[in-house]
Amino acid sequence: MKKKKLRILVNLPPGFFSWRPLQPVWARLRKLGLVRQRSHNTAEEIVRDIGWAEGIIMWSWPVLNEELLAQAPRLRFVGYLNGTQAAVRALMKRKVAVSEARAGWSPAVAEMALGLILNGLRRISDYHAEMRAGTEKWVADFPTDIDERERQLTGRSVGIVGFGRIGQRLAELLEPFRVELRAYDPFLPKMVARKYGAKLCTLNELVKNSEVVVLCAANNKGSENLIGAAQIRMMKRGCVLVNVGRASLIDMRALEERLRRGDMIALLDVFEREPLERDSVLRQLSTAYLTPHRAGGVMESVVRIVTMLVDDLEAYMEGRRRRWAMTEDMLASLPE
């Protein structure tokens, strides 16, 4: 007797379905079940397919609230690219298996963080802009004309705020630079910090003593304005602040005020409003280095996260352990 195929709804932006690197993943998924590819953005749109679906792979929207789930009696599995606490909790309440693939962004985000650190310390983008404009200054009176703002990473003190998968991968990438590494993460066991050669400390201790501060923390309860005005005042003169986490981690008005003083720099990949407003103060500050939320968005990341969810869906269908399964104790790590 032929095995019944699972009904799988894939709800992602249209580009996911036409993008060439993902075609082998979609071909594999079609072998697992009957697939509907949709790009619904609202509850009113997805309701047309949710009653049909037994499995869903999606980003995080539309939110699968109680009203929608009441119309999904067949639903057994949901795989999120990025889930939220409320959505995952509602699914668990209904005994729906949930997997979440945000860990797939981590390698690329950590690499971007390292790149921003090096850019900030070595002024790479400044030199590039000067060369483009023809305003660069060549060595004329070495070494007295060395710019003291330019420093090597090797041996510096680095603090990582949020020591999950991104922070841990960044710690691995920093190992050859023999940095003095500190970590702040209220959920992190000391033994994990020691594994990566990091000293676990308080937030204030980290910002006071680090020449480089990197924000990798998740956007969850208690993390809003984690780096507030007090912490920004504590940062060393010449501090390099990197944010590849979320803009909500920082009191941005306090940061802008400190950046105007010109005694530290910030390299930011995330912003309160995206796209960043054309008239944003940040665009005018020479101490602010900006990238348009590109830390995780490379080809390898996208293929990896979708593959992770297809792997877990296949494992669920075969009764095997899912590598990226969500459990109750993991909910606190998700955004609300």
- The string of pLDDT tens digits covering residues 38-65 is 999 999 999 999 999 999 999 999 999 9
**What is the amino acid identity at position 239?**
C
Question: What DSSP element (H or E) covers 275?
Answer: none
For 188-212, give one letter per residue: b (16+ CB within 10 A) or e.
beeebbeebebebbebeebbebbbb
pLDDT band at residue 335 using 50, 70 and 90 as cut-offs:
confident
Evaluate if residue 188 carries a pLDDT over 80.
Answer: yes
- DSSP output for 207-235: HHH-SEEEE---S-TT-TTSB-HHHHHHS
The arithmetic mean of pLDDT across residues 294-302, rounded, is 96
The domain 105-290 is placed in CATH, from the list 1.10.287.70, 3.40.50.1820, 3.60.15.10, 3.40.50.720, at 3.40.50.720
Q: What is the pTM of this model?
A: 0.95
Q: What is the predicted pLDDT for the residue at 264?
A: 98
pLDDT band at residue 2 using 50, 70 and 90 as cut-offs:
low
The arithmetic mean of pLDDT across residues 224-236, rounded, is 97
pLDDT band at residue 1 using 50, 70 and 90 as cut-offs:
very low
Distances (CA, A) of 260 to 231, 256, 278: 16, 6, 18
**Cα(first)–Cα(last) distance of the chain, in Å?**
45
pLDDT band at residue 336 using 50, 70 and 90 as cut-offs:
confident
Evaluate if residue 178 carries a pLDDT over 60.
Answer: yes
Main-chain phi, psi angles of 294, to 5 degrees: -115, 5
Chain-centre distance of CA 177, in angstroms? 23
pLDDT band at residue 119 using 50, 70 and 90 as cut-offs:
very high
Q: In which residue ranges of the chain is CATH 3.40.50.720 found?
A: 6-104+299-333, 105-290
pLDDT one-digit tens code per residue, 302-320: 999 999 999 999 999 999 9
From CA 232, how far away is CA 225, in angstroms rounded?
Answer: 11
34 token code pair? 């009957």
pLDDT band at residue 236 using 50, 70 and 90 as cut-offs:
very high
Evaluate if residue 189 carries a pLDDT over 50.
Answer: yes
Evaluate if residue 150 carries a pLDDT over 60.
Answer: yes
Tokens 């609202």 belong to which residue?
42
pLDDT band at residue 3 using 50, 70 and 90 as cut-offs:
low
Q: What is the predicted pLDDT for the residue at 334?
A: 85
Determine the topology of domain 6-104+299-333 in CATH.
Rossmann fold (3.40.50)
